[in-house]
Amino acid sequence: MTHVRTLPALSLLLAGFALPACTKPKTDPTNQGPGSVTAARKYLEGQWTLLSFTIYPPSAAPIEMKGNGTLIYDDFGNLSMNLVPNAATAAVLQKAGIPLENGRFASKGRTVLDMQNRTLAYVLEGQPAMGVPTGPLAANKLRYWQVDGTTLTLTTKDAGGKPLTVATWQKH
């Protein structure tokens, strides 16, 4: 189809790397071993606890989120995220234009991994694949990931490559 060329880069990413949440990845040799999508999904699988979360709003001082958070990935790439800032942090986040619902930021959906670029995308329940295109926590922002043992760091970036958010998680 010729209209595919006009889709934004994330649509191409989703089309090229999406694995249905209802089935496990194929177990062919090209999808096994270190550096594979299967290995990455296995690494992500389980419960993660938030160690730190910094938000870099435009034209404002960085916000260190005080509170707690959990991130749960299942063996299909589905995720459940719950961030609960303390009252002072929640007020700062609201002032910076970062919406909270009932004092927290929660989402459910699935992940789409891009092993070559070391990014993951969230496809959240109730949102179109491109997500809501606003704010540093927007679902359509790619998360650049880095692993160090049982620590996962996810970073979103602006168009110029500067960090918008940096979240560090510890696996249980």
pTM for the model: 0.73
Long-range contacts of 153-157 (CB under 8 A, 24+ apart): 154/120
CA–CA separation, 81 and 83 (whole Å): 7
Q: With helix as H, strand as E and coil as C, how does 21-85 read? A: CCCCCCCCHHHCCCCCHHHHHHHHCEEEEEEEEEECCCCCCCEECCEEEEEEECCCCEEEEEEEE
- Fill in the amino acid letter for 20: P
Structure tokens belonging to residue 30: 């090209």
Output the pLDDT for position 24: 45
The class level of CATH for 2-17+44-171 reads mainly beta
d(CA 18, CA 134): 23
User: Along the 172 residues of the chain, how does pLDDT read in single tens digits?
Assistant: 443 333 232 222 223 333 334 444 444 445 667 778 888 888 889 999 999 999 998 888 899 999 999 999 998 889 999 999 999 999 988 887 777 888 898 888 888 888 889 898 888 776 555 445 456 666 667 899 998 999 999 999 988 999 999 999 999 8
